[in-house]
């Protein structure tokens, strides 16, 4: 099961405050689809304005990534820089 952790702001907006969820998915594509089924709009928000940190590595664009069975995925605001 992949463990997905949202920021509080995202959780308040899309999941009724639930910040952590476990999903039976093996790729980011499937993760996004699963999230969207349960929380409409969350997948689009993640793809537009968020990044994923998968097992500690930050991906600005994680769409093509595979997930290990016990993957830990943090959803964080996209980063830029100066």
Q: Which residues bind another protein (CB under 8 A)?
A: 5, 7-9, 12-13, 17, 48-49, 53, 55-62, 72, 74, 76-82
Residue that is written with structure tokens 């689809």 in the block? 33
Q: Which is nearer to another protein, 40 or 77 (CB)?
A: 77
Which residues are CB-contacts of 20 (< 8 A; sequence separation ≥ 6)?
3, 4, 5, 6
- Classify residue 65 as exposed, middle or buried by CB count within 10 Å of its CB (0-12, 13-18, 19+): middle
Output the smallest distance, CB 78 to another protein, in A: 5
**Residue 37 CB, nearest distance to another protein (Å)?**
23
Q: By C-beta, is 7 or 36 nearer to another protein?
A: 7
């Amino acid at each position: 099961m992949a463990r997905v952790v949202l920021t509080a702001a995202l959780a308040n907006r899309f999941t009724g405050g639930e910040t952590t969820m476990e999903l039976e998915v093996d790729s980011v594509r499937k993760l996004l689809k699963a999230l969207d089924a349960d929380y409409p709009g969350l997948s689009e928000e993640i793809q537009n304005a968020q990044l994923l940190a998968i097992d500690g590595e930050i991906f600005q664009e994680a769409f093509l990534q595979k997930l290990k069975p016990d993957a830990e995925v943090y959803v964080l605001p996209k980063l830029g820089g100066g």
